[in-house]
Structure 1
Amino acid sequence: MASGLLLNVLIFLAAAVLIVPLFKRLGLGEVLGYLAAGVVIGPSVLALVPDAAGVLQFAQVGIVLLLFVIGLELKPSRLKVMRKAVFGFGSLQVAVTSSVLAVAAWWLGLSPAAALVVGFSLGLCSTPLVLHLLGERKELQTRHGRHAFALLLFQDLAAIPVLAIIPLLAADSLMAGGATPLLREVAFTAGAFIGLIVGGRYLLRPLFHYAAATGSREVFAGTALLVVIGAALLMELAGLSMALGAFIAGVLLADSEYRHSIEADIEPFRGLLLGLFFMAVGMMAEIGLLAEMPLTILGLTLGLVLLKGLSVALAARLYRSSWKETANLGVLLSQGGEFGFVLLTAAAASALLDQALVSLLILVISLSMATTPLLFQLHVHGVRRLFASTRPKRAYDRPTDEAPQIIIAGFGRFGQIMGRALQGLKIPYTILDINADQVEFVRRYGNAVYYGDASRSDLLTAAGADKARVLVVAVGDPEASMRIVEQVKRRFPHLKLYARARNRYHAHLLMRAGVTHIVRELLPASLELTREALSGLGIPPEQAQHTVDTFREHDEQALLRQLAVFGNEKKLIQTIQEAARELEALYEADEDIATRVEELPERRR
């Protein structure tokens, strides 16, 4: 048993290592490579791994982890902003696409009930495929990337009631059972959904706090996997999508201080299992049917891709998307999806569809998924040029390693002051900034600045990070700042890290990541202005300075105490209130400060 399992693992790894790099080198992308590898080792070709259905069922964990990671990127406040796209654009696309495909299925001879199921099943898109393609090109945060994600999220939600209704659409099932079973199932599903949200809201942070307190990375990673798989199984037991459960768990942790650590631990599992999922889809394709009826299957695949692409484009235009976004969405969402496998199989089990038709449609969906990476590549290198700006997108600079002692990540107002001081001291330094316009602007004044993302290890290496002594994280965005810190900690542990913190929350994130040299960007200037204002009130300069120094020392101690309760809002508020009372008592106990304040004219009145 163990040797057989290891042999299957070896076969999957060998197929991926041999075939996927070849497809990437040909410019066809990883997804198509995984699909081709699955076809080769699957039952239809070499039959090295015969149980395609079992592999596909296990590989669903890859989708679960993918949706969990995406949930980590979506804070609840941002998800609230997306509600219009999810329920507006999502419902519009599902209605348009399902209607078009259902009419086509009815025209080809299916009954109205069967045509509706087929139309909806084929109208669903592949969440992991689309998100993987967008992630490969770093387009998840673009407008079409956000709309594609919103649509995919709505499809996952919409598929749930359809899956529950399929048995009722079968002949005589509604008359025999009535509506009671459906209502019971809906109530149970809603209860599980609410239970996951409420339970996750109050249990997840304490659980991760306990895991982090052990100091074991293995325990922390195991906790993350426990939460993901537990949420997924809970949703599956309730009749919902496992991926939806994982997504909700991710969203609930998106605001937590553990988010970056969780994402770093989950990422290796996600990548491997997602690749396995695409290979399993390739294995499911019954290539023998393609040999038996090639024109029929290729014609249906072509018809599905065209109808879906056009109907998605129509929905996008009705939603008032630009032509550029419409073209992107039409190509990205032109395939069938893995949820179609589930719905069609359920329809066959309920005798609503013939098993032979279901096998044919599953092959059509698989082939349509295989066309998407190729069509997207052609679209990127062809059609997009029609909408491209006349100004070409600038590639990252390759810094020249001139043995810098300091690397500055970010050269805005904060980084420029440090750069001027270092230049005056003739200390060699290298600057990386991701804002191309900012780079061009500061270069006009003779500054040696390189355009590049400081969270990329290759650019840091080219900038001399392996030889430098200090790296200053001067970027203002906390998310980008934490990515740089994590990369440097992992790849260049010898570098001393000095970081700019945008606020107390950012400072706490940096402190939790192990950064000890932190400057809160507004604190020095605020304290300096406070000192000047106190002098303006008549307090002697040395006494004003003493007052400010007292505040600074007390605030640093309060920051450390608040770090201990970070993530616990109730205790954090209590600690802040205690710190305010302590500062008042501290000033009152200092006779010099108290005397000077009492002598102010306004106080005497």
Structure 2
Amino acid sequence: MQDHLLFHIVLLLVIAVVVVSISRRMHFPPILGYIFVGMIVGPYGFGWIQKEENISLLAEFGIVFLLFAIGLEFSMSQMLSMRRQVFGLGSLQVLATALLIFFLGWLAGLDNNTGIVIAGAFALSSTAIVIKQLTEQSEIHSRHGRSILGILIFQDIMAIPLLILIPTLAMNNGNDSALALSMAIAFLKGVAAVVVMHLLGRYLLRPLFHEVASSKSQELFTLTVLTVALSAAALTEEMGLSMTLGAFLAGMMLSETEYRHQIESDIRPFQDILLGLFFVTVGMLISIDLIIQHFWIILALTVVIFAVKGVVIYWSARLFQKEPGVAARISLSLAQVGEFGLVLMTLAFTYDLLPEEEGNILLTAAVLTMVIAPFMVKFNGKIAKILHRTSYRDNTENEETIKSHNPHLSNHVILCGFGRVGQTVGRFLHNANENFIALDMDILRVNEARAAGENVFYGDSSKQTILQSSAIDKAKIVMITFSDYHGALKVLKTIRHLNSEIPVLVRSLDDKHVNELIAAGANEVIPDTFESSIMLSSHLLLLIGKSPRQVLKQTRDIRRDRYRLLESFYPGEDDTSSLQEHQLMKGVIHSVALGEEAYAIGKRLGDIPLASFEVQVDAIKRGHVRGENPSEETRLRQEDHVILSGLPEAIDEAERYLLTGRMPKKLQESEAAEAS
């Protein structure tokens, strides 16, 4: 009975439910729970499952679906917007870490194949643990959070060629020329796979999913998703490449379609469960006897992994001009070995590229770094402040900037967050002649908004000193406009510590955490629904004391104008994260600064053919004065800021014309045709 597959699966599920439930209650990552389940049931534990091969195929499907889901998240626009972090800092970290670990392995007497496997595996960090922990701590959009995200994206990309490398090494053991030839062939096969998947995605997948979606059958849609993911995996495996490469490419092709979010939600249950089985198989490889027997060696290896990766990542970040404190937080968060490192090592065991005893010692040390990782990520800020106290003095500079620009601030509104919802609320307040100050952690968005004359400042609204600089003791009300639950709790805690009476409005994605937010001090929690931005702004104006008739008039005006007021936004770094967002976005707002050599200086607005660019002039900022809806007789001066709204491509062309006088070819041809 012990060799029966169904018995093994049922046994694993029962134990997994118990252990993972306990892990969640103790705030441990579920990954660690699954690994512990494997240790319990495996041959080195109670021996209830003697051969992990019985579930290894299902576990491999977990990795396939993980890569498929990562492919769905893979966005070329996101990559381009973060290219310095991804391809610069990420590539430097992976290459430097791998080379140093390979050198240390060579000094320790490891053969080349083993050294390559360990170097590749240990260079990667845990995307699952780090992103989850940073998100819960509301640090994903911080300075170190964006750098960490960029590095993890590059690591996920590098996992693909490393997965191809393992079987190639096994087939050409000890033959360098044959290895080079095999790698070249594998590279060409990989290029061919990319081309094939691109063609299939362009000419087959989109019409296929359109047809399936039109049937309105959830069962058929899910079945199609599974078929596409597994078919792509089978295709690349038949080409002699990794199954995971095909799954990644299929996900990337489907990320270009409008069905991406539905596909992601359908694949998530399969991915999570089967990926859990993979970590169970990892746990089955860990021997308690081995840990006891080689305890000091494993402990020393764990310390070495943290030290080597931490030092390399720290100095890589410093080379990219990150402040010492920020570099320390990045290195502390990424110093562990990740799930893809475990994938590489288990694959290397399959191809006999790792000696059993030495490999298990290294694997155990890698798993131990993952056990410690959540705590290092959680306390990265406190540790970094101990190591680099001077690196955090910039908060004082932010506070002084806010105070100096708002010396008489009182009876105002504080907006925590100036994303799309925050900007919408700001426009309502502006139209109602209400003073407000906005705090945001996206430096690009802050710079754009401040250049356009908005009262927006860079600052973390969960910090007491930042809120005090914003005169929270004299404010009418505070609104938390971002939807991050954990971040909102932090801000609420700080607000209530400083001012127990001030009304606080909070935005929430849904009603799941309404009770917790109210218990934390929120007066009103507005879940996102249809027209959520309008609803939030209406509630805010009513609480300030505006008449219901005035609020209703603004709402009706916006609806009557077909929401034109809400269409354009100041873009931030996180607004280019997906093609889907670009398709939904009607336009952006951008401030064009006229330098001393700008073409438009001295010209009337009416003489500049901006309408032909399909952009609109919202305002002219001159010094500290912002003039809304300027007339065509307005003559532009040096150092004016022309605030334009429209599609990003149109604004780029209009800005080029204002600065240089060069007209795009298509507009020149259009004017020539009209003249003739």
TM-score range normalised by the length of the shorter chain: 0.5 to 0.7
Distance between the aligned counterparts of 1:67 and 1:57, measured in 2?
Answer: 16
2:275 maps to: 274
Residues 102-157 of structure 1: CA deviation (Å, up to 9, x unaligned): 22212222345654443334333344444444455565554134223223124214
The 5 A counterparts of 1:278-357 are: 278-341=279-342, 343-344=344-345, 354-357=355-358
Distance between the aligned counterparts of 1:380 and 1:18, measured in 2?
Answer: 33
1:487 maps to: none
Distance between the aligned counterparts of 2:239 and 2:152, measured in 1?
Answer: 24
1:263 maps to: 264
Distance 1:467 1:153, change over 3 A: closer
Residues 78-119 of structure 1: CA deviation (Å, up to 9, x unaligned): 233344433322321122111221222122223456544433
Distance between the aligned counterparts of 1:16 and 1:51, measured in 2?
Answer: 18
1:215 positional shift: 1.0
1:474 maps to: 533
Distance 1:184 1:17, change over 3 A: closer
Residue 452 of structure 1 pairs with residue 453 of structure 2: no
Distance between the aligned counterparts of 1:456 and 1:240, measured in 2?
Answer: 46
Distance 1:238 1:301, change over 3 A: farther
AA at the equivalent of 2:62? G
Residues 319-343 of structure 1: CA deviation (Å, up to 9, x unaligned): 3333344233323322334444565
1:289 positional shift: 1.4
CA contact (8 A) 1:76 1:251 kept: no
Distance 1:238 1:91, change over 3 A: farther
What's the Cα RMSD here? 4.7
Residue 375 of structure 1 pairs with residue 390 of structure 2: no
CA contact (8 A) 2:222 2:266 kept: yes
CA contact (8 A) 1:148 1:329 kept: no
1:159 positional shift: 1.2
2:425 maps to: 412
Distance between the aligned counterparts of 2:227 and 2:319, measured in 1?
Answer: 42
* Greater Cα offset, 201-210 or 12-21: 12-21
Residue 93 of structure 1 pairs with residue 106 of structure 2: no
AA at the equivalent of 2:43? P
The 5 A counterparts of 1:174-185 are: 174=176, 177=178, 180-185=181-186
AA at the equivalent of 1:472? E
CA contact (8 A) 1:126 1:339 kept: yes
Distance 1:41 1:81, change over 3 A: same
Residues 134-188 of structure 1: CA deviation (Å, up to 9, x unaligned): 45556555413422322312421441564365247633x346x585544433322
2:22 maps to: 22
AA at the equivalent of 2:98? S
The 5 A counterparts of 1:551-590 are: none
CA contact (8 A) 1:62 1:277 kept: yes
Stretches of structure 1 that go unaligned for 5 or more consecutive residues are 393-408, 421-430, 477-497, 505-519, 523-605
1:65 maps to: 65
Distance between the aligned counterparts of 1:256 and 1:40, measured in 2?
Answer: 43
Task: Output the TM-score relative to the length of structure 1.
Answer: 0.62
CA contact (8 A) 2:93 2:312 kept: yes
AA at the equivalent of 1:123? A
2:158 maps to: 155
Distance between the aligned counterparts of 2:431 and 2:268, measured in 1?
Answer: 35
Residues 217-271 of structure 1: CA deviation (Å, up to 9, x unaligned): 1111222222223333333444545444333333333342222222232233333
AA at the equivalent of 2:300? G
Distance 1:255 1:324, change over 3 A: farther
Secondary structure in structure 2 of the residue aligned to 1:457: coil
Distance 1:269 1:154, change over 3 A: closer
Secondary structure in structure 2 of the residue aligned to 1:256: coil
Distance 1:475 1:56, change over 3 A: farther
Distance between the aligned counterparts of 1:238 and 1:197, measured in 2?
Answer: 16
1:211 positional shift: 1.0
2:204 maps to: 203
Distance between the aligned counterparts of 1:350 and 1:275, measured in 2?
Answer: 23
CA contact (8 A) 1:82 1:150 kept: no
CA contact (8 A) 1:98 1:119 kept: yes
2:623 maps to: none
Distance 1:376 1:432, change over 3 A: closer
The 5 A counterparts of 1:423-438 are: 433-434=481-482
AA at the equivalent of 2:93? Q
CA contact (8 A) 2:314 2:331 kept: yes
CA contact (8 A) 1:38 1:282 kept: yes
Distance 1:260 1:415, change over 3 A: farther
Residue 191 of structure 1 pairs with residue 246 of structure 2: no
Residue 143 of structure 1 pairs with residue 146 of structure 2: yes
Residues 510-549 of structure 1: CA deviation (Å, up to 9, x unaligned): xxxxxxxxxx999xxxxxxxxxxxxxxxxxxxxxxxxxxx
The 5 A counterparts of 1:219-234 are: 219-234=220-235
The 5 A counterparts of 1:469-508 are: 472-474=531-533
2:76 maps to: 76
Residues 405-464 of structure 1: CA deviation (Å, up to 9, x unaligned): xxxx876267779999xxxxxxxxxx9843889xx9xxx9x9976212233533399799
Secondary structure in structure 1 of the residue aligned to 2:531: strand
Distance between the aligned counterparts of 1:377 and 1:447, measured in 2?
Answer: 30
AA at the equivalent of 1:319? F
Distance between the aligned counterparts of 1:132 and 1:106, measured in 2?
Answer: 35
* Greater Cα offset, 365-374 or 177-186: 177-186
Secondary structure in structure 1 of the residue aligned to 2:508: coil
1:170 maps to: 173
1:208 positional shift: 1.0
AA at the equivalent of 1:76? M
Distance between the aligned counterparts of 2:179 and 2:525, measured in 1?
Answer: 70
Distance between the aligned counterparts of 1:309 and 1:56, measured in 2?
Answer: 33
Secondary structure in structure 1 of the residue aligned to 2:28: coil
Residues 34-83 of structure 1: CA deviation (Å, up to 9, x unaligned): 33233223322223333335535422433433443344344332233344
1:298 positional shift: 1.9
Distance between the aligned counterparts of 1:352 and 1:4, measured in 2?
Answer: 30
Secondary structure in structure 2 of the residue aligned to 1:474: helix
AA at the equivalent of 2:234? L
Distance between the aligned counterparts of 1:111 and 1:243, measured in 2?
Answer: 27
- The structure richer in helix per residue is 1
Residues 173-216 of structure 1: CA deviation (Å, up to 9, x unaligned): 346x5855444333223211221122112222111111111111
Secondary structure in structure 1 of the residue aligned to 2:257: coil
1:493 maps to: none
Distance 1:148 1:57, change over 3 A: farther
The 5 A counterparts of 1:26-65 are: 26-65=26-65
Distance 1:198 1:100, change over 3 A: same
Distance between the aligned counterparts of 1:432 and 1:344, measured in 2?
Answer: 45
CA contact (8 A) 1:68 1:248 kept: yes
2:669 maps to: none
2:415 maps to: none
Distance 1:33 1:39, change over 3 A: same
AA at the equivalent of 2:505? Y
Secondary structure in structure 2 of the residue aligned to 1:450: strand
Secondary structure in structure 2 of the residue aligned to 1:452: strand
Secondary structure in structure 2 of the residue aligned to 1:47: coil
Distance between the aligned counterparts of 1:350 and 1:282, measured in 2?
Answer: 19
CA contact (8 A) 2:301 2:365 kept: yes
1:8 maps to: 8
CA contact (8 A) 2:86 2:151 kept: no
